[in-house]
Every structure is written in C-alpha cells, then in structure tokens.
Amino acid sequence: MSAHLVLIDALNLIRRIYAVQERPFIQSKDQLNGELAAKTQQQVLFNTQQASITALENILKQVQASHALAVFDSHNPCWRNKLYADYKKGRKKMPVHLANELPNIQDAFLQLSVDSLLSEEDEADDLIATLATKMALHGQNVTIVSTDKGFLSLLSPHIYVYDYFNRRYLDENYVKEKFDIKPAQLVDLWTLTGDNTNKIPGVAGIGQITAASLLNEYGSLSGILKSDNLKPSIQDKLSGSKEQIALSRQLLTLKQNIPLGFNLKDIRLEQTTAQVD
C-alpha cells in the first residue's frame, strides 16, 4: 500500500504559534525590561504547547498521513554558518524559555505517535529535503508542512508543501504567480537575486523580474552563464560575481543525501496499517 509521509518543519510551526500566543502580552503590564514576567511566560508556554498539539492533530487529519515526523533544527551552528558567517545574521533568536520547553512539546507530539528528529550539523530543511526526495524516488507521497519558501524548490508530482496557517497547499501555480518561474528554477532565481530572509547575497543589480526573465529565456542559471548573447550590462554583473554565485547556490541548495539511520516503519502512525517496503 502506498505511504503518505507528513514532514513537519517543527520550529517553523512552533515559533509562529508562540508568536501568536505571546502577542497579547507584548507591551503590556506583563512585560518587564523587554521580557515577559515569569508567570506570564509559563502561561504563554502552556498555551503554545496546547496550540501546537491541536495544530498537529489538525495536520494529521487534513493530510491523512500514514507516517509522520517532526523535524527540528540543531541547537548548534549548521554547516552553512561555517561556510558563510553572515548566514541568517540578525535573525531574532528563540527565547530561552521556549527552547527549554521544546522537549515537553516533543513528548506531547510523541503521544500522538509523531516522533521528532534533530541533527547535530544539518538544518531541518536538509533533513526534510532528504526524506522527501527519497520517498518521492520510490513513488510515495510526501507533504511538507511549512511556510518556508525554500521547500517550494522540491515540488513534484509526489512532494507537496502545505501552509498550515493559511490552510492551503503551495503548488506550481502559486510559484508561477509569485515568482513567474517553475519550482525547479527557484534555487537559480535566489542565487541571482539573493535571499534576504537568510542574508544570502545575490548578484548586485539583478532583481526578481530580471532573474525570472533570464531563467524563462535560458532555462537555468547554467544556461544563462553559458550564453554568449546576453546584454553587456548583465554579462558584466555576472562576470564580476562568479565566486558569489557559487557560494550562494551552495548555501541555497538543500541537501538530499543525509544518512538517516532509521526505517520508514519506525515513523508509521499507530492508527494506520499501511505496509511499506
């Protein structure tokens, strides 16, 4: 029987839920020196855990999964930080009290038969990409639950991306409307334009409209770089950014070959009887 694996970008889900629960207390009398009062912190954490459990229940019901896994980022700097020191520079850090609560949320997820996976060096994105592509290669379906645009590059007949907060699937039509290219061209697009969310630079002077136009004409970044009929202004920009292009593409490309060390049967949901080789 075919499997349907749901992969939850856990911190993407939990941190957004936490932000919603915390918002009413921001700039209120429960905040002191930029920090929530201890009693308020506990209330927000409790609300976050309960809302996360509800979200997981809703996701499993919506997706009708046979297998599920919540994937967490490592607490340590990942390989991208080692490669490029400014990666995600300036991004707001997770509150310590929320980080300390994660094991309890993971235990609550396990009560719903959803185990958690955390890598010491790779990001959750890389682990999710590896799992998703391995499943797709075997003709099995995968739904990635995240609002992270990076997963859109993985879209295929067997890989879906679901935005839980807006209750919608982000599909090829969504990519076309937002970026004017195909999902498989997204990494090339962001290599040219940069990815401000993660502080990954692009080619100076090339924006999304120009990058999409070039990709639609030449098919890929490789095709663009090999072309001998580019406008001189574009050629000059690309020629002066070869090292940057190589670095940015490496940072933007999700790993798909991480050794996982477990079998699909290990993450089968208890309520399903699906048999997977």
Question: Which residues are part of a known binding site for K(+)?
Answer: 192, 201, 203, 206
Cβ(16)–Cβ(165) below 8 Å: yes
Measured between alpha carbons, how far is 60 from 117 in angstroms, rounded to an integer? 17
Distance from C-alpha of 258 to C-alpha of 127, rounded to nearest angstrom: 7
Q: Which residue has the tokens 């970026």?
A: 179
Q: In this structure, are residues 51 and 97 in contact, taking their beta carbons and an 8 Å threshold?
A: no
Binding-site members are 125, 192, 201, 203, 206
Query: Is residue 185 within 8 Å of residue 249, measured between CB atoms?
Result: no
CA 275, distance to chain mean position in Å, is 28
Asked if 1 and 277 count as a contact pair (C-beta separation under 8 A), the reply is: no
All residues at 6 or more sequence positions from 199 whose CB lies less than 8 Å from its CB, including other chains: 86, 87, 88, 89, 90, 91
| Alpha carbon 212 to chain centroid, angstroms | 22
Annotated binding-site ranges for Mg(2+): 125
Distant-in-sequence, close-in-space partners of 159: CB < 8 Å, separation ≥ 6: 132, 133, 135, 136, 141, 142, 144
* Stretch (H or E) spanning 4: strand 4-9
Tokens 């004409």 — which residue? 217
